[in-house]
Structure 1
């Protein structure tokens, strides 16, 4: 196939693809590559295999972002690559890969893959492939794809054009097979091939398009964007465990606010958080929570932390996104006569049970989410020793941050966030004073009490059974 591309490096002349940019004409060098990734590349090359860096690390460098993930692609099969590295292991069933481990860094090595659908139409090509392991669901989603091919075929089956850029360790050139350099120049996200077919094969590509649009501040090219709303329902056929991981990438990478807005715009959010989406569309709110303002404030605070180099817990992110639904259910159970905390526990259970059908939440995350929500009702109760006990609760800091987000989003909690801020910073004697000031029971005790009339003692004998007593 002959196509045209405009060079990223200042040339206005259209060039045929594939486009090879020699070392002297681009800025990506070995200084930009992880030393461990270089070790993998050189060992594969010295063993007689083709070895390339591919995708995000090249894209990010050309855009001006420091590369972090270095993925290697080769014509060696997973078994051949695994045999070269004693510090490696074979993983994956859906896509068989090799992970080469250096301390905490993992270099992922994959084999050139072919488009299994296209190969199925060509018997000669199919028989010439090293691997023939492929499977699809009844909805057309690729469940397993270990059909190996050439680098040209590998490029054609990648998701977006700017992810089909290859850095060749043999001559240090960059190879562009699908016009990714031109799309970087245009600051656009363009899917490779027919959008409908590619989304049918893997609906998560729609989420990836949104994630890149938010992270890179790129536009989604018109043909790439057109089918998304119509095909968003295919996310219902993706395993909830996989969608859980995708949500963390989408909203926990420092661009949560923009990503949330795009997910809503393209009709994708409701397949990740159906209860929350329905609540946002209903317009429900009450004096202590405005759902959309709360979620946006929570995502904004999380973005600020991540962009400042701080970490954030996945359970905190999920606790923010599901709190409006918990508040709604809590209100419903309270109206049925349940006390405050039992109503909360019932609400949390209902919301979590509904959510795991869309994105599976591991228990190690759902338990601290419950604790954060529970503490929202305990933090106002500061009398006696409770404030000191709450301060040492393992989830106090997360619950305190959650409380501040509620106030910042417009909820009036009577200065509770300010009180807890002062309490944490105050010395011991001042902490006791703050508790006394906040203790509503002592304020009530200072008021004159109405004397109750004395009652005459009854001569009737009391029952002797202590259990009855």
Structure 2
């Protein structure tokens, strides 16, 4: 990427020309900035923290960029922990916070002809792209200017300098903040090939801020969406959570589908979207999740994934159900293969896949309303999630509304209470007639 594609000299925005205030920066982040400065290093607040403050939002966390190497950061902060291989950085514990501190990076280079693409930590390979342009290593350090030009979007490359409270802008990020648009730094095709996750970030950050995606930045996404298949599934799991466990979950879903990104993340679910009721079920889950996020209630990936993958399970079960197999038999038979297939694209840790499958497995038990079965089902730890999932399936046209209504009333104490063992009339036991004693007169 050539620097002449953007601003060549930084613009310094003084304190009175921006709205970033130390009052809205966490004490932990301020301590890290000041301590690095006292140790003789440059240190800036950067990335999403600065972007969100400029947009009038309160960031959840803060990142720091510095000219100190990770090892030097650890010398300043004895409790710092160095992490990462592809991108080495320091996690600094400051009070109850973890502040991510990254050393200024320079732009990755492409391999020389015939150069081996190895995955070790050798110095010669710390700063390397593969033949497709994807970053393998990003551990060669540079200057503040180098660091600005290697970042993804202009609005993520704004640096807050605590020494004079100014914002440093090398790439026109302040102009894009004012225009309310996401714009990649450099050639979009090249930048997406370096890291295909940037396509997902473009959608997520734009919707979070209520911004648009600049036309040249948006143009290559549909064509390059298949590059997501080269991204490690564990990394995509993290990105999916950021996209869907958010207040903008439904809008993110719409844009992912429109750009062809959802179909890469969930190939078989994407192929089911035209089936009756599928979008209704997924949208219901996303709307419920967004509402819980807005109300600051806990959300779980297990329920989200249950909704995203259920259409595939349902489709695979249809032949067996048509042949007379029960839902209780079919769900465990087919759900395992669906999960195994999906994790090849987007990882699902066992701590989420297990409760997800329990939510599915409980669905047939809602049909059994006699005796004490409702009581036992209601006592199950996954009952509430399974009940909510039953409501989604009912809204999607899979179940009779009377079933969902009965369970709603049951929880409210309004449904007819099934008889318990103590309430049932006791069956009268027939008394056995005693056989007459043998005649003993002859004895």
Task: Give TM class, smaller chain.
Answer: 0.7 to 0.9
User: Match of 1:461?
Assistant: none
Partner of 1:449: none
In structure 1, list runs of 5 or more residues that go unmatched.
6-15, 122-129, 443-469
1:320 alignment counterpart: 307
2:219: which partner in 1?
226
Q: Of 274, 279, 285, which residue of structure 2 is paired with 1:298?
A: 285
Alignment CA distance shift 1:171-1:422 (3 Å): same
In structure 2, distance between residues paired with 1:413 and 1:100 = 54
Quote how far apart the aligned CAs of 1:419 are: 2.3
Q: Identify the match of residue 369 of structure 2 among 382, 404, 414.
A: 382
In the TM superposition, residue 218 of structure 1 has moved relative to its aligned partner by 1.2
Find the aligned partners of 1:103 and 1:274 in 2 and give their Cα distance: 43
Indicate the residue corresponding to 1:343 in structure 2: 330
2:341 alignment partner, one of 354, 374, 378: 354
Q: Report the alpha carbon displacement of residue 138 of structure 1 after superposing the two structures with TM.
A: 4.4
- Answer yes or no: is 1:434 the counterpart of 2:417: yes
Change (3 A) 1:260 1:220: same
Contact 1:96 1:146 in 2 (8 A): yes
Separation in 2, partners of 1:27, 1:219: 22
Aligned to 1:64: 56
Checking the alignment, whether the CA contact within 8 Å between 2:372 and 2:419 is kept in structure 1 is: no
CA distance, structure 2, for counterparts of residue 135 and residue 95 of structure 1: 12
State whether residues 111 and 131 of structure 2, in contact with CA within 8 Å, keep that contact through their aligned partners in structure 1. no
Report deviation, 1:252. 1.0
Aligned to 2:120: none
Shift of 1:104: 4.6
**TM-score, structure 1 length as denominator?**
0.83
Question: Where in structure 2 are there 5+ consecutive unaligned residues?
Answer: 114-122, 425-443
SS of the aligned residue for 1:135 comes to: strand
Deviation (angstroms), 1:404: 2.0
After TM superposition, list the pairs within 5 Å mapping 1:182-331 onto structure 2: 182-280=175-273, 283-285=274-276, 290-331=277-318
CA distance in 1, matches of 2:225, 2:91: 32
Is 1:29 aligned to 2:12, yes or no?
no
Q: Write out per-residue CA displacement over residues 340-375 of structure 1, whole angstroms, 9 at most, x where no aligned residue.
A: 322111221121121111111111111111110111
Alignment of 1:17-166 (within 5 A): 17-102=9-94, 104-117=96-109, 133-166=126-159
From 313, 334, 344, the equivalent of 2:321 is: 334
Q: 1:213 offset after TM fit, Å?
A: 2.0
SS, match of residue 251 in structure 2: helix
Aligned residue among 393, 399, 415 for 2:402? 415
- Return closer, same or farther for 1:103/1:418 CA change in 2, 3 Å cut-off: farther
Q: 1:384-414 CA distances to partner (integer Å, 9 max, x unpaired)?
A: 1111111111111111111222334455423
Q: Distance in 2 between matches of 1:341 and 1:104?
A: 47
How far residue 216 of structure 1 moved from its aligned partner, in angstroms, is 1.5
Secondary structure of residue in 2 paired with 1:415: helix
Distance 1:357 1:119, change over 3 A: closer
C-alpha deviation, 1:335, in angstroms: 3.0
Distance 1:84 1:374 in 2: 53
Contact kept in structure 2, 1:275 and 1:354, CA below 8 Å: no
Contact 2:93 2:99 in 1 (8 A): yes
Q: 2: CA distance between counterparts of 1:416 and 1:334? A: 19
Deviation at 1:224, TM superposition (A): 0.5
Which runs of 4 or more aligned residues in structure 1 lie more than 6 Å from their structure 2 counterparts after TM superposition? Answer: 2-5, 118-121
The 2-side partners of 1:183 and 1:119 are apart by 33
Number of equivalenced pairs: 410
Contact 2:313-2:335 at 8 Å conserved across structures: yes
SS of alignment partner, residue 333 of structure 1 = helix
- How many Å apart are 1:415 and its aligned residue? 2.5
The verdict on how the C-alpha distance between 1:369 and 1:119 changes in structure 2, with shifts beyond 3 A counting, is closer
- Equivalent position SS for 1:259: helix
Contact 1:132 1:148 in 2 (8 A): no
Distance 1:214 1:391 in 2: 38
- Contact 1:333 1:347 survives alignment (8 Å): no
Q: What is the SS of the residue equivalent to 2:319? A: helix
CA distance in 2, matches of 1:101, 1:63: 27
- Tell me what 1:367 maps to: 354
TM superposition shift of 1:212: 1.2
Counterpart of 2:432 in structure 1 is none
How far apart are the structure 2 equivalents of 1:302 and 1:61? 25
